[in-house]
Structure 1
Amino acid sequence: MSTPTRIRATRKDGATELRMLLSHPMENGLRKDAEGKRIPAHFITEVSVQRNGEIVLEADFGPSIAMNPYLAFSIAGGAPGDEIVVSWRDNLGDSRSDAIRVV
C-alpha cells in the first residue's frame, strides 16, 4: 500500500482551497534501469475528489504526469467540518482513498 495522500483543505474568502500530494512512482514504461531493462509502466489513471459525498473533481491521468502528483484548486462554498475524500486508481489496479475535514 502506498503512503497516505497529504491533503490540506482550508476556508478562504467564501471558498474551500484544496491542496493534495499523491504519493505514487508514476513510471511511464519508457525509462530503463541501470542494466538497460525497461521499468514497467505504473501510473495513476483516475483521480476523484468528493466533498460530503458529492464529486467536485474527476480527472483522468496518464503516463506523462510527474512522480508524486500535486493538485491544488478551489471550490465554491464549504464549511468547517466538511469531509474531503481523495481517491485514485492506477493502471495496475491499485487504489487509495484518504479523507480529512475542512478547517
Structure 2
Amino acid sequence: MSSIRVRAQLSDGVTNVRALISHPMETGQRTDSGGNTIPAHYITEVKASLGDREILTANWGPAISRNPYLSFQFEGASSGDTLDISWVDNNGESDSTQVRIS
C-alpha cells in the first residue's frame, strides 16, 4: 500500500492536486520517554511529473510536520492523463504513486 494518497482534478484548464503523505518526519532533536534521541527521519524531496514533464520538485527538511499535506496547481494537463508523485527521505527510503487526472 502506498504512503501517498492523492487526488488530481481538472477545472477550467487548471489541475488541482492534493496529496497526503504518511511519514513520521522526525527532526532528530526529540527524545523518547527514556531520554534517548529519536533519529532523524524526514522527506528530503518530493517530485511530481506528467509524462516527461516535471511539474514540481520540492526540497524538504526536518521542519515539515508529520504526515505532510501538499497542494499545488498546474496547467497543461488533460482529463485522463497520469500524474506521478514520488518522495525520497534522508534514510534512502522512497515511495511513489500514480493518479489519473479527472
Q: Percent identity?
A: 45
Q: Secondary structure at the match of 2:66?
A: coil
Give the TM-score, by structure 2 length.
Answer: 0.95
Q: Which runs of 5+ in 2 are unaligned?
A: none
1:57-82 deviations in whole A, cap 9, x for unaligned? 00110000000111111101311111
Contact 2:2/2:96 (8 A) holds in 1: no
Does the alignment pair 1:54 with 2:53?
yes
Does the alignment pair 1:67 with 2:66?
yes
Matching residue of 1:38: 37
Letter in 2 for 1:72: S
Q: CA deviation at 1:3?
A: 4.3
Q: CA deviation at 1:52?
A: 2.3
CA distance in 2, matches of 1:64, 1:16: 27
Matching residue of 1:16: 15
Q: CA deviation at 1:53?
A: 3.0
Give the TM-score, by structure 1 length.
Answer: 0.94
Q: Which runs of 5+ in 1 are unaligned?
A: none
Contact 2:15/2:73 (8 A) holds in 1: yes
Letter in 1 for 2:42: F
Aligned residue pair count: 102
CA distance in 2, matches of 1:51, 1:73: 14
